[in-house]
Structure 1
Amino acid sequence: MAENPELQVTRTFDVPKETLFQLWTDANHLKHWWTPTGYSIDVVKFELHPEGAFHYNQTSPEGHTMWGKFVYKDIEKPDRLVYISSFSNPDGQTCRAPFHPSWPLEILNTLNFIDEDGKTVLAMRGMPVSATEEELSIFQNAREGIQQGLAGTFDQLDTYIKQLKS
């Protein structure tokens, strides 16, 4: 296994950090961009407070549905957001990823929103929680695919930001 399985992604968005923070913490905004490219999303539950949950499902163009959730740990408006993400069942119980039996059950995500001349640098870190060596290795080996998936999702966020500005 690699020495540091933590995933780090940085991206700059053309909005103030207060706006970007809101786009990450409001279900009415998340439902417009928090999906893999081509998927639709249904928000089942949204509670923005420590230990509150964002529970949702995403449906592929072929009709396959995946369930997921965030459990919020720390909310420091508009600078920092910390949550644990996981796959879930329709009742919101954490379960294994549908694509790999050894995918980590939970990923701790820390998002820092950094002002840069009216734009916002989003610095995101993700790390498996209480993972086995096998789960850490699977996560590490998926790093490139995760980064590509996040790039597509962040492209959708950029498009949504442009729509909001027009």
Structure 2
Amino acid sequence: MQSSPAKSTPTTHYKGSSPDSKLLEIVRNFDVPVEDLFKAFTTAEAVKVWWWPKDLYTDHVEIKFEEGGKYFFNMKGYHQGGGGMTGSFEEIIPNKRIVMTDYFSDDKGNPISAREAKMPGHWPEVIYITFDFASLGSNGSRFKLSQQGIPNELQKDCVQGWSQSFDKLEKYLEDRQH
């Protein structure tokens, strides 16, 4: 496994993203075929195991994995109640790319504002997350996360959270191979 932190890239203007936030990017390699890595993003059963940083877990997942399909991932952990993220799949190219919208949500899956979610910083109305997948041969794969709209002052925390989620993803994938 290999990982690289967020990069300081020029401001990216994409749909409704905040014009002053940098594009958050993380690249990570896995020792599994790209088909296995991609599949871990497509089902409620898989996402429930690995999505969210350590000490958090997903107690409820709904996924309609198709372009235009909706999703809702409810989060639990720490000392907070429910809430999480919801949105839709904007683009799906099997084993190549997933583009999804991302809204904060209450514990029922209803979109709420960043302020209602008690998130600091200036957030856009909608965030866009892109996962690009690549094969590194029969037993290796890579993906790149690109997330638009994260306030600059929170990007380090987001990189840490995503990295912890991807650690859980790696363990999930390893367990599936044995």
**Normalising to structure 1: TM-score of the pair?**
0.85
Give ranges in structure 1 of 5+ residues lacking alignment: 129-137
- Out of 130, 135, 143, the position equivalent to 1:115 is 135
Counterpart check, 1:89 vs 2:110: no
Identity of aligned residues (%): 25
Question: Equivalent residue of 1:153, what SS?
Answer: helix
Note the 1:39-118 alignment, pairs <5 A.
39-97=56-114, 98-100=117-119, 102-117=122-137, 118=139
Question: Equivalent residue of 1:145, what SS?
Answer: helix
Question: Equivalent residue of 1:103, what SS?
Answer: coil
Counterpart residue number, 2:153: 141
- Out of 154, 164, 167, the position equivalent to 1:155 is 167
The runs of at least 4 aligned residues of structure 1 exceeding 6 Å deviation read: none
RMSD: 1.8
8 Å Cα contact 1:94-1:105 kept in structure 2:
no
Per residue, is there more helix in 1 or in 2? 1
Give ranges in structure 2 of 5+ residues lacking alignment: 1-8, 12-21
**Normalising to structure 2: TM-score of the pair?**
0.80
Aligned equivalents of 2:95, 2:136: Cα separation in 1: 14
8 Å Cα contact 1:87-1:105 kept in structure 2:
no
Counterpart residue number, 1:124: 145
